[in-house]
């Protein structure tokens, strides 16, 4: 997989994706949409009710969702006091539904753009305003794959040395490719 973003001037970016790359990226984003879901209480069709809806107060049990929606207070690796836990619950209750909605919109934007290629490869052009949404969507995918692969920062170099027979190899390749996409997009929109 070689498709990386290039600057198209003015904060916009372009990427040439072959059919396989577009298909993989679309599939990963669709899976992200399924993982994120609407969230508890977040599936109301009444805009006024949605405005006042409260989200969950507890962190998600799924480690990938917990990484995407971390506690705002305290260190998850260390026990904390009741006051910190309560502050984290309150913050989550009022912010998680909006965060889920933003992450869904980011993923949907990627899916729609890839659908615009008509199921084939081609050059995809991102307007300057779309770059940050794509960065968010790519970051969410990478974080999720990192959790599923149990990647620690100090272990990342070892991913390059996995034998082809390792069953994690396809996910590792996607994880590394997403990192390259993310880096190239960041550089492209900064030009």
Write out the residue range of the structural domain in which residue 150 sits: 5-190
The answer, yes or no, to whether residue 162 has pLDDT greater than 50, is yes
What separation in angstroms does the CA of 117 have from each of 5, 15, 26, 172? 16, 12, 11, 26
Residue 1: the pLDDT is: 40
Rounded to an integer, the average pLDDT of 32-52 is 69
pLDDT digits (tens, 9 = 90+) for 95-147: 898 899 999 999 999 999 999 998 788 999 999 999 999 999 999 999 999 99
Q: How many CB atoms lie within 10 A of CB 52?
A: 8
More confident of the two residues 156 and 161: 161
Rounded to an integer, the average pLDDT of 30-39 is 90
Cα 33 from Cα 108, distance rounded (Å): 8
Cα 4 from Cα 180, distance rounded (Å): 7
């Amino acid at each position: 997989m070689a498709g990386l973003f290039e600057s198209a001037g003015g904060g916009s970016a372009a990427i040439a994706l072959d059919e396989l790359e577009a298909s993989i990226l679309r599939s990963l984003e669709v899976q992200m949409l399924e993982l994120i879901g609407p969230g508890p209480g977040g599936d109301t069709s009444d805009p006024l009710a949605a405005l006042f809806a409260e989200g969950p107060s507890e962190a998600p049990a799924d480690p990938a969702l917990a990484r995407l929606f971390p506690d705002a207070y305290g260190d998850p690796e260390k026990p904390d006091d009741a006051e910190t836990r309560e502050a984290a619950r309150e913050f989550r209750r009022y912010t998680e539904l909006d965060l889920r909605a933003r992450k869904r919109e980011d993923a949907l934007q990627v899916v729609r753009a890839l659908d615009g290629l008509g199921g084939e490869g081609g050059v995809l052009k991102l307007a300057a305003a779309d770059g940050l949404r794509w960065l968010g969507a790519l970051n969410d995918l990478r974080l999720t794959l990192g959790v599923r692969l149990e990647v620690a920062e100090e272990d990342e170099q070892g991913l390059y040395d996995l034998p082809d027979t390792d069953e994690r190899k396809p996910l590792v390749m996607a994880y590394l490719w997403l990192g390259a996409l993310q880096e190239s997009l960041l550089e492209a929109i900064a030009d």
